[in-house]
């Protein structure tokens, strides 16, 4: 038997980098796949690991290089990573780095609050029956992120608690919001836009001590902005951005490089009424 071809590497390395230029932040979120080809035949045919760079090392390398070399252009970073592996290890003859990027767009002129293109997705639900009629509108997949002005402290702790308290963290969520109409506005589109704009304001401008606190502020703002709705339900699962520990490599990570994960996630929900 003959080994015809082979490659290996690491996929779904989810890197979040906050680029700070004074008070203005830029968020880069990448999904990186790095694949290696080279002198690895004996690792398949003779179970010889002497030339196999661990895929965990590949992941660590991507995170470490992101600290100093991930800027505004994902293309430059992908090329730098590929060149690094070929130059670093003589057994690697070819390296292919694929990057998918989630683009976070600034909310208006906000320096550190963002949303993603295609979000949110509007929906409505009408029900008519013997008990009368109900009409609801809302949005799903509303991706919002603030790169600072968020924390989580003062919670109960027990022997199973490992989460450290923090005054500064990334707050990211995929929000689903549903509001119930008690009267019909003159134009639903304009009313829905006003509700969303009202919810953006506390998210962007207020310090978030918790998702729960921000959720109540957003729901209250929606009710204040539109007298025709009687209640609003919000579901805001955390899209965690976990600080990468670079200390084993002699590097300090000052809230710059994170790994993105949404499984498992905190699921926070609430209904706010008048």
| Cis-peptide into 120, omega within 30 deg | yes
Q: At 224, which helix (H) or strand (E)? A: helix 211-225
CA angle 115, 13, 33 (to 5 degrees): 110
Q: At 198, which helix (H) or strand (E)? A: helix 188-205
Distance CA 234, CA 220 (A): 11
Q: Which of 17, 112, 146, 240 is catalytic?
A: 240
Q: In the chain, what is the greatest distance between 2 CA atoms, to the nearest angstrom?
A: 76
Q: Which of 26, 42, 55, 261 is catalytic?
A: 55
Between strands 24-38 and 8-21, the pairing is: antiparallel
Distance CA 121, CA 141 (A): 6
DSSP 8-state assignment for residue 25: E
Active site residue 240: yes
Active site residue 10: yes
Q: What distance lies between CA 76 and its chain's CA centroid?
A: 22
Active site residue 127: no
3-state secondary structure at position 207: coil
Q: What distance lies between CA 162 and its chain's CA centroid?
A: 22
Q: Which of 10, 28, 59, 146 is catalytic?
A: 10
Active site residues: 10, 55, 240
């Amino acid at each position: 038997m003959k080994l015809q071809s082979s490659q290996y590497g690491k996929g779904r390395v989810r890197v979040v980098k906050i680029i700070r230029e004074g008070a203005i932040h830029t968020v880069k979120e990448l999904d990186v796949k790095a694949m290696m080809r080279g002198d690895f035949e004996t690792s398949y045919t003779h179970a010889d690991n002497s030339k196999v760079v661990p895929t965990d090392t590949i992941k660590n390398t991507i995170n470490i290089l992101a600290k100093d070399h991930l800027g505004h252009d994902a293309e430059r970073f992908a090329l730098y990573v590929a060149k690094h592996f070929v130059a670093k290890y003589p057994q690697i003859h070819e390296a292919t780095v694929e990057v998918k990027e989630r683009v976070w767009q600034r909310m208006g002129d906000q320096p550190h609050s963002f949303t993603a293109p295609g979000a949110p997705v509007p929906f409505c639900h009408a029900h008519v029956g013997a008990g009368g009629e109900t009409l609801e509108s809302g949005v799903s997949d509303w991706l919002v992120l603030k790169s600072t002005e968020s924390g989580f402290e003062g919670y109960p702790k027990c022997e199973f608690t490992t989460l450290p308290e923090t005054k500064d963290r990334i707050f990211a969520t995929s929000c689903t919001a549903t509001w119930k109409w008690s009267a019909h506005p003159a134009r639903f589109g304009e009313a829905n836009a006003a509700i969303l704009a009202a919810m953006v304001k506390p998210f962007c401008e207020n310090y978030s001590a918790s998702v729960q606190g921000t959720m109540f502020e957003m729901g209250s703002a929606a009710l204040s902005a539109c007298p025709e709705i009687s209640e609003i339900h919000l579901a805001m699962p955390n899209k965690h951005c976990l600080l990468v520990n670079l200390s084993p490599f002699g590097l300090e990570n000052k809230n710059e490089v994170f790994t993105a994960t949404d499984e498992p996630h905190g699921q926070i929900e609430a209904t706010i009424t008048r």
